[in-house]
Amino acid sequence: MGRAAIRNIILLAFISLAGIIATQIFWVKKAIDLKEQQFNHRAYVALKSVADRLIQDSKFKVQLDGINKKASNYYTLDFSSPVNVTMLENYLIIESKNQNLNADFEYGIFECTTDSFYYGRYVSIKNTGKVERLHVKAKPSENYYVGVLFPKKRTYLQDDLKLLIFFSIVLLVVIGFFTYTILVILKQKKLSEIKTDFVNNMTHEFKTPISTIALSSDVLMRDDIIKNPERLKHYATIISEENKRLKSQVESVLQVSQIDSHKIALNVTDIDMHALIENIAKNMEPRVSELHGKIILQLNAKKVIVSGDEVHLTNILYNLLDNAIKYCDKIPEIQIITLNKHKGIEISVKDNGKGIETSSQNMIFEKFFRVPSGNLHDVKGFGLGLFYVKNMIKLHRGKIALHSIPKVGTTFTIWFHTKEK
C-alpha cells in the first residue's frame, strides 16, 4: 500500500472520528434541551395545578391573574386575593411529586407594588421534612405574587442524564486512545521509513569507498604496477583517502550512538575560536577552490576564547561548512562571520546554496533526516551531521539557529559563552 493511500485512509479515519464526536455532542445537547423542555413543561403544569386547586377551594376565594416564566428556573404566580401559605406549600409539594418533578425548590411571597419580601421557604422534595424558613415580614397587601425558584435545576437535569453523559465520556476516552494509537503507529512507521532510508543510504555510502579500495587493491597486485612507482603511489593514495572517508563515516555513526547513550565526555580546554575557524577554512579551501568558489572570513569578535572540546567544536564547524558545500548547486560563496553578542561569541555560516524548504526546516536537526531531493542518493551523508551539531552545541551550553530561503541560501548561527582573557 502506497504512502498516498495510507494518508487517505488516515485522513478518512480522522474525519470519521470528528464526525462521531460531533454527532455525540449534538445528541447530548439535544438530550439536555429535551430534558429542559420536559422540566419546564412539568414545572408549568405543576404550578397551574397548584393554582387551580387553590382557586377551587371555595373557602379562600383565590383569584389568579397569571403564571409567568421569568427565568429558566424561576416562575411567578400573580394573585389578587389572599392565599393560605400552608396550603400553598402542601399543594406545591403534592403537584411536584405528581409531575415527577423531584427537584428542590424555594418559594416566596412578594408585594406587587414594591417587590418587598413577605414570606418564603426552602423545600426538599426528596426529604419533605427538610424545610427552611427564608424570611418573614408583615402581611402583604391584597395584590401580591408567589415566586417559585428551582435553584438546583441544572444539577437535577445532569443527574437525570448521568448514564448518557457517562457513556459519552467513555466514548471520548476510547476515541482518545484510538487517536493516540494511530499517532503512535504513524510515528513508528515514520521512524521505520527513516531507518530504512538510513540503512539504504549507509549501504550506498560504504559501498562506494569499499569498491574503490577493492579496485585499487586489484590494480596494485598487478606486476606492471610494482614497476611503476608513480602509479603505485597514486593508487596507494586513493586507498588511503577512501580509508579516511570510511573511518569518518563510521565515526559519525559512533558519535551519534554515544549521544544517544549519553556517554560523551568533553575534554574541555580554552579554545581560540578565530584560530579554529581560520584553520578549518584553510583545510576546506582546496575543496571549495575545485568548485571555483571561495570562503570569506569576517572575524569581527573581540572576545574569542571559549571553554570547550576542540575536537567537537572542530566537527561542528566542519559539518556546517561541509553542508554549505554539498547543498550548493552553483559556484559556492561561503561567509563565516563572528561578533560578540549576549556575553558570548556568535558565529554565522552563510552560503548561497539551494536553501531549505520551510516544511523541512523544523525537522532539519532530527536524527537521520535529510532534505528530500527526489533522488535518495543525490546528496551524500547519513542525515546525522546536524543532529550531531545541535547536540554538541547543547552539550557546550550553546545555541543554534537556522535562517533559510529556498533558492537563495542558508545561514546557521551558533553562539557560545566566552571567557574573559
Same domain, 55 and 28: yes
Are the beta carbons of 417 and 397 closer than 8 angstroms?
A: yes
Indicate whether 121 and 168 sit together in one domain: no
State residue 360's pLDDT score. Answer: 84
At 413 the pLDDT is 96
Domain boundary among 226, 260, 294: 260
- Residues 52, 183, single domain; the answer is no
Residue 409 β-bridge partners: 405
Whether residue 139 is found in the same domain as residue 232: no
DSSP, collapsed to helix, strand or coil, labels residue 90 as helix
In this prediction, residue 129 carries a pLDDT of 47
Burial 193-203 (b: 16+ CB within 10 A, else e): ebeebbeebbe
- Is residue 221 helix, strand or coil? coil
- Domain interval for residue 334: 268-417
Rg of the chain over CA atoms, in angstroms?
Answer: 41
CA distance 293 to 278: 17
Residues 140 and 199 grouped into a single domain? no
Give the start-end residues of each E strand in 63-171: 64-71, 74-79, 105-111, 117-123, 131-136, 144-149
Both 14 and 146 in a single domain? yes
Predicted pLDDT at 378: 52
Q: Which three cell numbers stand for residue 270?
A: 580554552
* Residue showing cell 576542540: 310
CB 301 within 8 A of CB 273: yes
- Name the residue type at position 262: H
Q: Are residues 198 and 286 in the same domain?
A: no
Same domain, 51 and 148: yes
HSE (side-chain half, CA atoms, 13 Å) at 271: 22
Structural domain total, the chain? 3
CA angle at residue 57 from 52 to 62, to 5 degrees?
70
Please give the Cα distance from 359 to 352 (Å, whole number). 19
Residues 125 and 180 placed together within one structural domain of the fold: no
pLDDT (tens, 9 = 90+) of the chain, 421 residues, equals: 555 666 677 777 777 777 777 877 787 778 888 888 888 888 888 888 888 887 777 555 556 667 888 888 888 888 766 677 788 888 888 888 888 888 888 888 887 777 777 778 888 877 654 445 444 444 545 567 888 998 888 877 777 677 777 777 887 788 778 778 877 877 777 777 767 766 766 676 677 678 788 888 887 787 777 778 888 888 888 888 778 777 766 776 776 666 766 667 788 999 999 999 999 898 888 888 888 999 999 999 999 999 999 988 988 998 899 889 888 888 999 999 999 998 999 999 999 988 888 888 888 888 777 776 654 445 556 677 888 889 899 999 999 999 999 989 999 999 999 987 6
pLDDT at position 121 is 83
Region at 127 (left for phi over 0; alpha for psi -120 to 50; beta for the rest): beta
Instruction: Please answer whether residues 160 and 88 qualify as being in contact, where contact means their C-beta atoms are separated by less than 8 angstroms.
Output: no
Q: Say what the pLDDT of residue 2 is.
A: 54
Residue 22 sits at the vertex; the CA angle it makes with 18 and 26, to the nearest 5 degrees, is 170
Percent over 90 (pLDDT), the chain: 19
AA letter at 323:
N
Q: Which of 139, 160, 181 is the last residue of a domain?
A: 160
- My answer on whether 125 and 34 are in the same domain is yes
- State whether 124 and 248 are in the same domain: no
CATH of the domain at 229: 1.10.287.130
| 359 and 374 inside one domain | yes
Find out whether 133 and 127 touch, Cβ atoms under 8 Å: no
pLDDT, position 223: 76
The CATH number given to whatever domain includes residue 363 is 3.30.565.10
Does the pTM surpass 0.75? The reply is no
Q: Of the candidates 133, 160, 187, which is a domain's last residue?
A: 160
